[in-house]
Structure 1
Amino acid sequence: MITVDFEKFPLAPGMRLLDVGCGQGRHSFEALRRGCDVTAFDANESDLADVKTMFGAMELEGEIGPGGRADVLHGDAREMPFEDNTFDRVIAAEILEHIHEDEQVMAEIFRVTKPGGLVAVSVPRNWPEQICWKLSGEYHEVEGGHIRIYKASELVERLQRAGLELLDTHHAHALHAPYWWIKCASGVDNDNIATKAYHKLLVWDLMKAPRATRWTEAALNPVLGKSVVVYLRKPLGDASEAA
């Protein structure tokens, strides 16, 4: 399930891309298909092992774009082990809502992005997330769960305070919002008939991408989209910094 719109966040072969909090690697895989030099970075070593396995499978199947390469690295997003101005592109999809020191992570993202480089950040949208929290404490009151709900304006303000320039925003995954409401209402760990049926629909949509559901979701995203996605640029600065 891709959250970042790669028309708004263009990639090219050879670009260095950092996927912060890569999870199961959805954006890392797409960047590798497009020929980027990908670093999948996460605090979960089990997820990273799965991502590395998938990188190997992609190589065997010839799914890596020309010049593409990838690696995984375990670490803490609050203190990343990279030099300043390292990456052309940085993605942080659905991670900031899990971290108390979110502004520290934003500062690190700014630091490791090259001057002129692009950043894509996504978090759960405010009002769909509010409903999830009201329906289920279990949804967020767990270790590693969501610790805050952002307003889009608040997220943008914090990222700008870190030094990034806003380029664009949009909403994504409208079809997923009702699924999570049903799941929260029935119990996060209780897969009943309704949640199982809806999950099958989402998997079918993911695998087949039929026009009907793609058009429906695109039409509903501005109103119902579960995630808000923000696109930003690190200012160029002076010539010595950009060198």
Structure 2
Amino acid sequence: MLTVDFDRFPVGPGDRVLDLGCGDGRHAYEAYKRGADVVAADLDDTALKHVRDMFANLAEAGEAPGTASALAVRADALRLPFPSGSFTRVIVAETLEHIHADRAVLAEASRVLAPGGRLVATVPRWWPERICWLLSDAYHEVEGGHIRIYRRRELLGKLTEAGLRTTGGHHAHALHSPYWWLKCAVGPDEEHPLCALYHRFLVWDIMRSPRPVRFAEWALNPVLGKSLVVYARKP
């Protein structure tokens, strides 16, 4: 399930891509399959092992060009171990809402981005996220949980402060907002039959991508999209 639109964030051979706060690696895999040299960075060793294994599986299955490379490394987003201008693309997806020093993270992301390079940042959208917080404290008051809710202008302002020029954006994952509202209403840790049913629907959609459902989500994203996606360029 990709949050970034790679038609609006072109990646290919010759690009050096940093997926900062890569988590399960979904965007790193897509960049690798498109032929880029990819570094997936996170502090979660378990997640990094999964990403390394998936990189190896993609290479073995021939799903990534032989000219591409992929690494998963443990790195602190506040002190990245890369020289300035190391990457032509930086992805910061669903990461900033977990970190108190988000300005410092964006400053580091901008530092390692080459002049003329592109960055994309995604965060939970304000009003769907606000409903989750109102429905359940347990949704966000957990270790490593969300510590802030972004408004669009706040994220745009922080990207500008980091020396980046925003170039556009959109919303994504409209069908996921009701799922999380339901989860929060019954309790995020509760195994409720309705949540299980909705989750099966979302998995089916991800695996099959049925055209009518994809169209419905595309149409609903401007109103109901759970994620805010903003694209930027370094002058």
Shorter chain as denominator, the TM-score bin is over 0.9
Residue pair 1:88, 1:114 contacting (<8 A) in 2 also? yes
Q: Distance in 2 between matches of 1:221 and 1:74?
A: 33
Question: Which residue in 2 is equivalent to 1:82?
Answer: 82
Q: Distance in 1 between matches of 2:188 and 2:8?
A: 33
Gaps of 5+ in 1: 236-243
Q: Single out whichever of 222-231 and 4-13 deviates more from structure 2.
A: 4-13
Question: Which residue in 1 is equivalent to 2:210?
Answer: 210
* Deviation, structure 1 residue 59: 1.0
Residue pair 2:59, 2:66 contacting (<8 A) in 1 also? no
Q: Distance in 2 between matches of 1:42 and 1:55?
A: 15
Q: Give, as a single letter, the amino acid of the residue that structure 1 aligns with 2:142.
A: V
Q: Distance in 2 between matches of 1:66 and 1:174?
A: 36
Q: Where in structure 2 are the equivalents of 1:1-243 lying within 5 Å?
A: 1-235=1-235
Q: Distance in 2 between matches of 1:22 and 1:162?
A: 20
Q: Distance in 1 between matches of 2:191 and 2:99?
A: 28
Q: What is the Cα-based RMSD across aligned positions, in Å? A: 0.6
Residue pair 2:28, 2:40 contacting (<8 A) in 1 also? yes
Residue pair 1:13, 1:66 contacting (<8 A) in 2 also? no
- Give the total of aligned pairs: 235
Q: Distance in 1 between matches of 2:66 and 2:152?
A: 36
2:147 partner SS: coil
Residue pair 1:17, 1:36 contacting (<8 A) in 2 also? yes
Q: Which runs of 4+ in 1 moved over 3 A?
A: none
| Residues 3-60 of structure 1, C-alpha deviations (whole Å, 9 max, x = no match) | 0001110012121000000000000000010000000000101100000001111111
Q: Give, as a single letter, the amino acid of the residue that structure 2 aligns with 1:160.
A: T
Q: Give, as a single letter, the amino acid of the residue that structure 1 aligns with 2:199.
A: H
Q: Distance in 2 between matches of 1:65 and 1:118?
A: 22
Residue pair 1:133, 1:139 contacting (<8 A) in 2 also? yes
* Deviation, structure 1 residue 68: 1.1
| Residues 132-163 of structure 1, C-alpha deviations (whole Å, 9 max, x = no match) | 00000000001100000000111000110110
| Residues 150-178 of structure 1, C-alpha deviations (whole Å, 9 max, x = no match) | 00111000110110001011000000000
Residue pair 1:18, 1:87 contacting (<8 A) in 2 also? yes
1:134 partner SS: helix
* Deviation, structure 1 residue 190: 0.7
2:181 partner SS: helix
Q: Distance in 2 between matches of 1:205 and 1:76?
A: 34
Q: Single out whichever of 63-72 and 221-230 deviates more from structure 2.
A: 63-72
* Deviation, structure 1 residue 191: 1.9
Q: Distance in 1 between matches of 2:215 and 2:37?
A: 32
1:63 partner SS: coil
Describe the shift of the 1:66–1:168 C-alpha distance in structure 2 as closer, same or farther (beyond 3 A). Answer: farther
* Deviation, structure 1 residue 227: 0.2
Residue pair 2:84, 2:112 contacting (<8 A) in 1 also? yes
- Residue identity over aligned pairs, in percent, reads 54
Gaps of 5+ in 2: none
* Deviation, structure 1 residue 66: 4.8
TM-score (norm. length: structure 2) = 0.99
Q: Give, as a single letter, the amino acid of the residue that structure 1 aligns with 2:173.
A: H
